[in-house]
Structure 1
Amino acid sequence: MFDRIELSVSSYDTAWVAMVPSPNSPQNPCFPGSLQWLLDNQLSDGSWGPPNRDPLLTKDSISSTLACVLALRRWGVGEEQMSNGLQFIRSHFASVSDENQHTPVGFDIIFSGMIEYAKDLNLNLPLRSTDIEALFHKRDLELRSCNRESSKGREAYLAYVSEGIGKHQDWGMVMKYQRKNGSLFNSPSTTAAALAHLQNDGCLCYLQALLEKFGNAVPTIYPFHLYPRLFMVETIESLGIGEHFRKEIRSVLDETYRCWLQGEEEIFLDPATCALAFRILRANGYEVSSEPLTGFAEEHFFSSLGGYLKDSDAVLELFRASEMIIYPDELVLEKQNSWTSHFLKQELSSSSKSADKINKYAVQKVKDALEYPHYASLQRLVYRRNIESYDVDYMRMLKTSYCSSSIDNKNFLRLVVEEFNACQSIYRQELKQLERWVQENRLDKLKFARQKLAYCYFSAAATICSPALSDARISWAKNGVLTTVVDDFFDVGGSEDELLNLIQLVEKHDVETSIHCCSEQVEILFSALHSTITEIGEKAIAWQGRNMTTHVTEIWLDLLRSMLQEAQWSKNKTVPTLDEYMTNGYVSFALGPIILPALYFIGPSLSEDVVRSKEYNLLYKLVSTCGRLLNDINSFKRESMEGKLNAVSLHVIHGTGAVTEDVNKEMKHLIQDRRRELLRLVLQENGSVVPRACKELFWNMSKILHFFYIKDDGFTSNDMITAVNSVLYEPIFLDEH
């Protein structure tokens, strides 16, 4: 599939190639095959361009059709085709001034230039003189606007639309943009226009190579090899079917990495390709520096062609790349994040005014990127958003529209939707199983306890998506429910005797509950803990080859003891130091029983050395620290009113009179640093002993925490209810029309 990506044919660019005279015989075409292609490929309505075009691409078709008519006139062939083409232009000319039409890049300059060229060829166009004058007026306004600017971006733009300037162009300036492959901007039309005026060997070799590869018709951009493949990788991953294409994806990434190391122009001269390559390579564990992105810093980007055109697609890629900060000194990404987010917000506010700058699908992508940063994006929600906004007729626009695809988009989307709904059905079955488990263990009888099963299971299903990982989801959700209940027990539900009794029972593990439990509450809690710990430990045998009951018990005891410490601080009105609080608090935040046992059901073998390793424990500490601080920032006001201490209040107490706002700001910086360190550990391959699939669970939990706390404390948010329904209850229905 990745090897069969096809670029759509550009009638517009093929026409300009066909207009190039032979260097040895100027009265004949240099590429007669391209001229013949134009004669053979006119559409039934008299136009040239993609068949079954969108009505909003009529302006594009008019531009392509006029270019084709000029090529035929240039060589005195195809009278009938010219007549039909001119008739199409005449009958659809109103689209030229239609603001709702998608407008090709440089249209006002190029189309007016083609009208002037038609005059030079003594070709009578069926247009009113007032219409032509209006076009020339728009062209002159744009050129005057360009001339008022002295930026490199403006110069690059004027070079890019050279075919529209023609004999008035400064071709010496244009040739400064020639690339190693001989092209100008990888654009066949610009390169052909230059060759027609200069007979440049590099331009000639580029076009010859292009025709040798594609036959007699050319695409509107070439080479365009890496970006569409990376885009397909991104698409497949973002729709939730990446695991079906692991081998193909790895092949694309290996090829991209080779090109990155070799400094290929296709990557490093194009901001979108460079940003996408950087982001995907880094996310997949390849060692790539952010340094090449300095070439697309704000001042450089807006001095380029893409910057002059305000290419929002490229800026979106740069923004998403800027989120992949994993080192403290990546200032280039910090700055990039700042200016790209500002630009995208401005584009969103003005998007309704411009149909061709940002279409509705692009608008949604920008909104999603700004609203859900990558560190707070849950896979299952990402899949759903991308499925629902998937554009089966995806087109891009340069000087003409184009697409690149190797799949039948409608059938592809249908299969993706079927898989999404099938997984959702599995999730609902698992949730019903968990609901029975809650009832069987009488957890719903504990009046003090919050009932958060749906949220606990949602956090598992939204991130541990594969149907094959049911055991991991069940372990995650059961322990999530139990940690919530135990937290409430230590917080409000249990007496000191009950807390101590529960810990003693877990320490002994196998006891007679009717004798050793001091209350019904303790009996319910211990029975649920005992059976769940035992079940998880024994289930792990099938995955790990050994019983993990002892380790899971240790994890729970660490949590219970840390919760007891907090209860005793509260009872004795002890004010711990911030270090004492955080050393205990990252454990008492209760992620240990949720994440760590689930690791045994992900797939890779986890030896005793791995689970006791420094890396394993640092991953756990980093994500737990993020969670503790996020919770404390968001719950500070409520807990202060209840007389409880947390990281924020302790920082104020032990600090130098800092106000809460300053403390919150400092805490958020600390969260950011820990989150980036966590991501660096997750992506690191050299020297890592924890398997990548297992490390992903720590990162998934970090994303869940940031998602929960992105607006408030999560459990009371309407957005959370919507998210739960999207993942667990509401199937996707395709609009087949």
Structure 2
Amino acid sequence: MALSLISLSNPCSFSRLLPSLLPSPTAPARRNAHMAMKITCSLSTHMLETTINRRSANYSKSVGDYDFIQSLKSDYTVHMYERQIEKMKEDVRRLLKRVDQPLAQLKLIDTLQRLGVGYHFKNEFKEALGNISTDESSMRMEGDLYATALRFGLLRQHGFEVSPDVFNGFMDEKGNLVASLCEDIEGMLSLYEASYLGFEGEIVLDEAKAFTIRYLKDFKEKKLEQDLKRRVEHALELPFHWRMPRLQARWYIETYVGEKDMNPFLFQFAKLDYNMGQATYQTNIKAVSRWDVNSLEKLPEYMKICFMALFNTTNEMAYVVLKEQGLEFTRHLKKLWADLCKAYLVEAKWYCNGYTPTLDEYLSNAWISISGPVVLAHAYLSAKTKITNDALDCIDKYSNLLRWSSMILRLWDDWGTSTDELARGDVPKSIQCYMHETGATEEVAREHIRGLISGTWKKLNKESFSCSLPESLINAALDLARMSQCYYEFGDGFGSPDKETEERFRSLLVEPISIKE
């Protein structure tokens, strides 16, 4: 986004913008500022002597334009339902305490998470799962595949040590999952979902994934109960762990009513909570849509600097001037923005030179140029959580949490947008780099990229499980990866939103769920 804004600016405008970035300068600062303006004008004059054909992304019209977004309103604002929702949360907490059997506890926790209300009960979940993790009688759940897989999945989701060896009892003498398991559809669904929480090297979970996908596809062709068939199809489309939480919650709420053991109270609670969350999103998006990106003066100082990154010398000079003025900036974000602009410059050089990098060379730069680290840093630093030194160190050093999340974003972005971007003259993306490097067809290259995405998810799983970073940063990294698949799996959901993207937009931000019984 920053690069596109720069490219739309008149080069001479940088000479006019520079003084506005600074307070009343001291004499040395005036000299430095004057030098910076001379350099900028010199560069600008040189650029104007050359005709520049600027490429356009030709993005489609936004799903929701300004007037439409400003018209959004909801009957489910927090102040109207706060007392009711708080009472309902207390009722759920009492329910969690009353349920004392391990399997019943696991089922209730799983249901609350799928309904999208689990975030209210993190402490209660931790306590219950902590007890289950040390309960010897629940280790194998008496040979119940569904219970064992559900236990494994929930414990790993919530950061408890649990080994995939718990599935060894479901294997034959050759190390393969026993064929008789294929008749247990609930167990197969549970094992399928658990397999997507695997780490690199956990072979049993890799085998479980392949095994369950094969048999669930067979189940889909058989005559199943409508509810069960719908769940199988939904799972095969995308596992729970890879789905955007609020979209998944909407889907599950609307299908939960058809389940045999549906709890009417939980059903009403989930619907009200979803609608209240939607009302909050509407308030936020209306505020964001009123931002004026042309008002550079309103931007934080570290972001103003990035608009001069096109002219490297000027950028360095601006830093000197700003430093002499004693201005304090957010060091961590400033570094990320500078690195992002450098990554853009690498791709610009490739484009200008007609160079196609190897896949590894491309990805080593592209996971930064996709802006994932910048997005995650802003998300963390703007959250209402305590900022820790470990998290700032993670941001500064581009820890693997940021790397793997951003890599998934990059690979899915390339998957959905590379064809359109090449048509308008962009640099080759991961698919084209692999084709150029190996001579593979596009179909083979896409299959390879899918494999990279799956492998990177295992790395992200491990990192999110083992690191000691704040939960808000870990969740942001996971959600960024989930968002990327939602946007780009079927095309460019951002630049050219299709009907499915519009439906998701409306379900998240526009249309509440009916509260009527």
Report the alpha carbon displacement of residue 652 of structure 1 after superposing the two structures with TM. 3.3
Q: Distance in 1 between matches of 2:415 and 2:271?
A: 39
**Cα–Cα, structure 1 residues 660 and 500, in superposed 2: closer, same or farther, change >3 Å?**
same
Give the corresponding residue for 2:387. 606
Tell which has more relative contact order, 1 or 2 (C-alpha 8 A, sep 6+). Answer: 2
**Cα–Cα, structure 1 residues 576 and 342, in superposed 2: closer, same or farther, change >3 Å?**
closer
Report the alpha carbon displacement of residue 733 of structure 1 after superposing the two structures with TM. 0.2
Give the corresponding residue for 1:692. 471
Give the corresponding residue for 1:286. 160
**Cα pair 1:417 1:732 within 8 Å, conserved:** yes
**Cα pair 2:164 2:205 within 8 Å, conserved:** yes
**Cα–Cα, structure 1 residues 243 and 607, in superposed 2: closer, same or farther, change >3 Å?**
closer
**Cα pair 1:326 1:676 within 8 Å, conserved:** yes
**Cα pair 1:285 1:683 within 8 Å, conserved:** yes
Q: Are 1:267 and 2:141 an aligned pair?
A: yes
Report the alpha carbon displacement of residue 634 of structure 1 after superposing the two structures with TM. 3.6
1:500-579 superposed matches below 5 A: 500-501=310-311, 504=314, 508=318, 549-579=330-360
1:209-608 superposed matches below 5 A: 225-259=101-135, 262=136, 264=138, 267-297=141-171, 301-303=178-180, 310-328=183-201, 330-351=202-223, 358=225, 360-391=226-257, 394-395=260-261, 409-438=263-292, 441=295, 500-501=310-311, 504=314, 508=318, 549-608=330-389
Report the alpha carbon displacement of residue 603 of structure 1 after superposing the two structures with TM. 4.5
**Cα–Cα, structure 1 residues 380 and 677, in superposed 2: closer, same or farther, change >3 Å?**
same
Residue identity over aligned pairs, in percent, reads 25
Report the alpha carbon displacement of residue 3 of structure 1 after superposing the two structures with TM. 3.7
Report the alpha carbon displacement of residue 681 of structure 1 after superposing the two structures with TM. 0.5
Deviations 1:79-108 (A, max 9, x none): xxxxxxxxxxxxxxxxxxxxxxxxxxxxxx
Aligned match of 1:680 in 442, 456, 462? 462
Equivalent residue of 1:286, what SS? coil
**Cα pair 2:366 2:410 within 8 Å, conserved:** yes
**Number of equivalenced pairs:** 408
**Cα pair 1:587 1:624 within 8 Å, conserved:** yes
1:56-135 superposed matches below 5 A: none
Give the corresponding residue for 1:209. none
**Cα–Cα, structure 1 residues 375 and 311, in superposed 2: closer, same or farther, change >3 Å?**
closer
TM-score by length of 2: 0.70
Q: Distance in 1 between matches of 2:505 and 2:109?
A: 27
Q: Distance in 2 between matches of 1:651 and 1:302?
A: 38
- Aligned amino acid, residue 2 of structure 1: L
**Cα pair 1:503 1:560 within 8 Å, conserved:** no
In structure 2, the gaps of 5 or more residues are 1-94
Deviations 1:263-308 (A, max 9, x none): 64761411111010001011111111112213334876544xx75x
**Cα–Cα, structure 1 residues 511 and 423, in superposed 2: closer, same or farther, change >3 Å?**
farther
Give the corresponding residue for 1:671. 453
**Cα–Cα, structure 1 residues 290 and 590, in superposed 2: closer, same or farther, change >3 Å?**
same
**Cα–Cα, structure 1 residues 609 and 421, in superposed 2: closer, same or farther, change >3 Å?**
closer
**Cα–Cα, structure 1 residues 651 and 501, in superposed 2: closer, same or farther, change >3 Å?**
same
Q: Distance in 1 between matches of 2:141 and 2:392?
A: 40
Deviations 1:516-545 (A, max 9, x none): xxxxxxxxxxxxxxxxxxxxxx9xxxxxxx
Q: Distance in 1 between matches of 2:357 and 2:367?
A: 14
Equivalent residue of 2:282, what SS? helix
**Cα pair 2:150 2:194 within 8 Å, conserved:** yes
Q: Distance in 2 between matches of 1:412 and 1:510?
A: 59
Report the alpha carbon displacement of residue 257 of structure 1 after superposing the two structures with TM. 0.5
Give the corresponding residue for 2:62. none
Equivalent residue of 1:612, what SS? helix
**Cα–Cα, structure 1 residues 646 and 254, in superposed 2: closer, same or farther, change >3 Å?**
same
**Cα pair 1:556 1:592 within 8 Å, conserved:** no
Deviations 1:532-567 (A, max 9, x none): xxxxxx9xxxxxxxx863322221121112112211
Q: Distance in 2 between matches of 1:672 and 1:297?
A: 24
Q: Distance in 2 between matches of 1:249 and 1:551?
A: 34
Equivalent residue of 2:134, what SS? helix
TM-score by length of 1: 0.50
In structure 1, the gaps of 5 or more residues are 7-224, 396-404, 444-474, 490-497, 513-537, 539-546
**Cα pair 2:464 2:474 within 8 Å, conserved:** yes
Deviations 1:463-486 (A, max 9, x none): xxxxxxxxxxxx9xxx9xx9xxx9
1:149-160 superposed matches below 5 A: none
Report the alpha carbon displacement of residue 722 of structure 1 after superposing the two structures with TM. 0.9
- Aligned amino acid, residue 246 of structure 2: R
**Cα pair 1:619 1:678 within 8 Å, conserved:** yes
Q: Distance in 2 between matches of 1:288 and 1:265?
A: 10
Q: Distance in 1 between matches of 2:157 and 2:357?
A: 39
Report the alpha carbon displacement of residue 646 of structure 1 after superposing the two structures with TM. 2.5
**Cα–Cα, structure 1 residues 311 and 581, in superposed 2: closer, same or farther, change >3 Å?**
closer
Q: Distance in 2 between matches of 1:233 and 1:615?
A: 36
602-611 or 286-295, larger mean C-alpha shift:
602-611
Q: Distance in 2 between matches of 1:291 and 1:615?
A: 34
**Cα pair 1:627 1:705 within 8 Å, conserved:** yes
Q: Distance in 2 between matches of 1:292 and 1:324?
A: 14
Give the corresponding residue for 1:649. 432
**Cα–Cα, structure 1 residues 503 and 232, in superposed 2: closer, same or farther, change >3 Å?**
farther
- Aligned amino acid, residue 323 of structure 1: Y
Q: Are 1:2 and 2:99 an aligned pair?
A: no
Equivalent residue of 1:734, what SS? coil
**Cα–Cα, structure 1 residues 595 and 266, in superposed 2: closer, same or farther, change >3 Å?**
closer
Q: Are 1:661 and 2:443 an aligned pair?
A: yes
Report the alpha carbon displacement of residue 679 of structure 1 after superposing the two structures with TM. 1.2
**Cα pair 1:392 1:410 within 8 Å, conserved:** no
Q: Distance in 2 between matches of 1:228 and 1:507?
A: 64
Q: Distance in 2 between matches of 1:719 and 1:361?
A: 22
- Aligned amino acid, residue 252 of structure 2: N
**Cα–Cα, structure 1 residues 248 and 637, in superposed 2: closer, same or farther, change >3 Å?**
closer
Q: Distance in 2 between matches of 1:264 and 1:293?
A: 13
Report the alpha carbon displacement of residue 577 of structure 1 after superposing the two structures with TM. 4.5
Equivalent residue of 2:310, what SS? helix
229-238 or 622-631, larger mean C-alpha shift:
622-631
**Cα–Cα, structure 1 residues 548 and 5, in superposed 2: closer, same or farther, change >3 Å?**
farther
Report the alpha carbon displacement of residue 649 of structure 1 after superposing the two structures with TM. 2.7
Q: Distance in 2 between matches of 1:410 and 1:277?
A: 25
When the two chains are superposed, the root-mean-square deviation of aligned CA atoms in Å is 3.4
Q: Distance in 1 between matches of 2:221 and 2:514?
A: 30
